[in-house]
Amino acid sequence: MSVMLTTLQHWHGFFQAGTPWADGPVGATQCPIIPGQSFLYDFKTPGQAGTFWYHIPAPSAGPVPTSDATLINGKGRYPSGPTTPLAVVSVIQGLRYRFRLVSISCDPNYVFSIDGHTMTIIEVDGINVQPLEVDSIQIFAGQRYSFVLKANQRIDNYWIRAKPNFSRSTTFDGGLNSAILRYLLAPHRDPTTTQTPNSNPMLETSLRPLKNPAAPGVPTVGAADVNINLAIALDFVKFQFTVNGATFIPPTAPVLLQLLSGAKTAQELLPPGSVYLLPPNKVIEVSIPGGTIGAPHPFHLHGHAFSVVRSAGSDVYNFANPVQRDVVSTGGLASDNVTIRFKTDNPGPWIFHCHIDWHLELGLAIVFAEDVPSVANMNPPSELYTISQLD
């Protein structure tokens, strides 16, 4: 990868087992690739299949901006703007279709629905789930769903709707926040369908993994090998987020290079207070109290999928068959306490961050330095040192 601007690439959802230097995030595994230099992302994806995406960090936009429009497959309309063509998904009556729904949003979450149709969810963040029929899906930044749609309605055009939780407009007036599901032989025009109340919305607590459903470890709250609570706050003076009192400011030398250079303790690692050392082959439990400013925060863990043993909006802990994913909403209520579990079976410095890009820019992240001795013995490509200017 060779670029004209400083950049990097993250391969969202791939675990990068044995190749943490190919994960991408600045400050955790590499420095930005500067103009005139290149970096080859060379990695394998054993045992992974599903819906993934790759992206670069969003550019800084100052204080948290408000989106002007929702784009679906690159097309959309904005308030008081022209009636531009919308994205069209073409179907043939009587067939079934697999849709891959990906939120590449920088901030808003969306409630997604298709007039007159239900959706059967079969995959969440690269993990197959037991089929679950719903009529709407709330999707947060970085999340992915596969669903099966039956084209079983009369030949016509139907609105595809993605209602943002905030934007310049959260309505569907004039085709805002919309795309079109078009049956073969239907006229080429905007739909006239109306939205009926969503009576069967997706609940995260209803999602069940298809295989290996149990969360790792003893099925009791706080009984993991390592238990971590992450308290999120906003420093209004500095206008920076903190996690347990620390703001993630990308260090000059990414955490991976610090580990390869011999740093072994949290006190030695930068940024101060933002790096958590995790031992190998242990069960980790992380809890995130809700109701914090800017919530709900969609938190994404690199290097792993995790079991969501307590979801936002629920006070029930499920260790038997909770959904497994890599992005979870922390919830917007003070009563929320989203709790996840994973096993440390993938050495590397894995960033855990809010996937609202503006919040990440303001420091809402930590790094789990997993199995430090194994990382210190890794042999990364020489280009990692070159782009980091540490050779």
How many CB atoms lie under 10 A from the CB of residue 317? 16
Please tell me the distance from the alpha carbon of residue 176 to that of residue 343, in angstroms, as a whole number: 43
Cβ neighbors of 7 (< 8 A, separation 6 or more) are 32, 33, 56, 57
Please tell me the distance from the alpha carbon of residue 14 to that of residue 303, in angstroms, as a whole number: 7
Q: Is 294 left (phi over 0), alpha (psi -120 to 50) or beta?
A: left
The answer, yes or no, to whether residue 391 has pLDDT greater than 50, is no
Is residue 376 within a helix (H) or strand (E), and if so which, with residue range?
helix 372-376
pLDDT in tens, 6-62: 788 999 999 999 999 999 998 999 988 888 888 899 999 999 999 999 998 766 656
Structure tokens at 260: 């390869």
Q: What is the pLDDT of residue 387?
A: 66
3-state secondary structure of 164: strand
The answer, yes or no, to whether residue 142 has pLDDT greater than 90, is yes
The answer, yes or no, to whether residue 390 has pLDDT greater than 50, is no
pLDDT in tens, 244-275: 999 999 999 999 999 999 999 999 999 999 99
Q: Can you give the three-state secondary structure of 291-316, one letter per residue?
A: CCCCCCCEEEECCCCEEEEECCCCCC
Cβ neighbors of 257 (< 8 A, separation 6 or more) are 384, 385, 388, 390
pLDDT in tens, 79-131: 999 999 999 999 999 999 999 999 999 999 999 999 999 999 999 999 999 99
Confidence of residue 64 (pLDDT cuts 50, 70, 90): confident
| Amino acid letter, residue 82 | P
